Amino acid sequence: MGTRYGWFCAAAKMCALGLLFVTQARAAPKLLIFGDSLVAGYGLPQADGFQARLGDALKADGIDVILLDGGVSGDTSTGGRARLDWALADKPDAVFLELGANDGLRGTDPAVMEANLSAMLDTLAAAHLPVLLTGMEAPPNLGAAYAAQFRAVFARLGKRPGVIFDPFFLAGIAGNPALNQDDHIHPNARGVMLEVARLKPLVERLLQQASRK
């Protein structure tokens, strides 16, 4: 009886360990989408927002991922820097970083924006989190010199080790009335779909990096 009971307990433990291993092996990675209204889905039904559409596109490719909502409308690089530690409490496996649009709209000194974004990338590097950094362009009314300085910030940061870089989040969408809402700033549902299609390969690459951690 004792031998049989001991064998049963050992088998039960092995079974439990096996189930635990399978559960851990199948755990979906967590991707933090950290940014402003452009990723928060401003002006759109939730189902048409960037995060929802990105999740749908990844699922269609057979990629199981948990998207953590770190989008705050109106946020700047200064605000993002202040709240990043709080967002990381959810323990993401990778981070999609999109900030800078509101810095440009406010005419923020590009050096200030660079310091903020650099500090965030330092934090993510210290946490060994792969990052997809997507850049932004300054509004044209601020002049060519400001626009060049603004663009150069993202070009420099995009060369950092461990960073996947996309130069312009609104590439192919900015300035096209057919792809933007009436405010001429935020993409409409069609614009979001084009955004997601363009960025999905980079996000998949990011998730591959996360899986190798």
Q: What is the DSSP letter of 55?
A: H
25 assigned to some structural domain: no
Catalytic, 128? Answer: no
Q: In the chain, how long is the greatest CA-to-CA distance?
A: 86
pLDDT at 48 over 90: yes
pLDDT value at residue 26: 59
pLDDT value at residue 27: 84
Separation CA 125–CA 104 (nearest Å): 25
pLDDT value at residue 16: 46
pLDDT value at residue 71: 97
Distances (CA, A) of 183 to 53, 179, 187, 189: 21, 11, 9, 14
Average pLDDT of the residues of the chain:
91
Give the model's confidence band at 17: pLDDT under 50 very low, under 70 low, under 90 confident, else very high.
very low
40 assigned to some structural domain: yes
The pTM is what? 0.87
Give the model's confidence band at 211: pLDDT under 50 very low, under 70 low, under 90 confident, else very high.
confident
pLDDT value at residue 19: 42
Out of 37, 75, 93, 166, pick the active-site residue: 37
Domain around 77 = 30-211
- 1 vs 152, which has greater pLDDT? 152
106 assigned to some structural domain: yes
Out of 64, 184, 186, 211, pick the active-site residue: 186
Out of 93, 122, 183, 184, pick the active-site residue: 183
Cα–chain-centroid distance for residue 151?
Answer: 19
Counting the structural domains of the chain, the total is 1
88 assigned to some structural domain: yes
Q: Are strands 66-71 and 131-134 parallel, antiparallel or unpaired?
A: unpaired
Give the model's confidence band at 213: pLDDT under 50 very low, under 70 low, under 90 confident, else very high.
low
- 38 vs 20, which has greater pLDDT? 38
10 assigned to some structural domain: no
pLDDT at 119 over 70: yes
Catalytic, 103? Answer: no
81 assigned to some structural domain: yes
pLDDT value at residue 187: 98
HSE of 147 in the Cβ direction (CA atoms, 13 Å)?
Answer: 9
Distances (CA, A) of 107 to 98, 112, 113, 118, 131: 17, 11, 10, 19, 26
Catalytic, 118? Answer: no
Q: pLDDT digit string (tens) for 95-117?
A: 999 999 999 999 999 999 999 99
Give the model's confidence band at 80: pLDDT under 50 very low, under 70 low, under 90 confident, else very high.
very high
pLDDT value at residue 154: 98
pLDDT value at residue 191: 98
CATH code where residue 158 lies: 3.40.50.1110
pLDDT at 192 over 50: yes
With residue 209 as reference, give the H or E element that holds it.
Answer: helix 189-211
12 assigned to some structural domain: no
94 assigned to some structural domain: yes
Opening angle at CA 154, ends 150 and 156, nearest 5: 110
Q: Are strands 163-166 and 131-134 parallel, antiparallel or unpaired?
A: parallel
- CB-based contact 169:211 (threshold 8 Å): no
pLDDT value at residue 100: 98
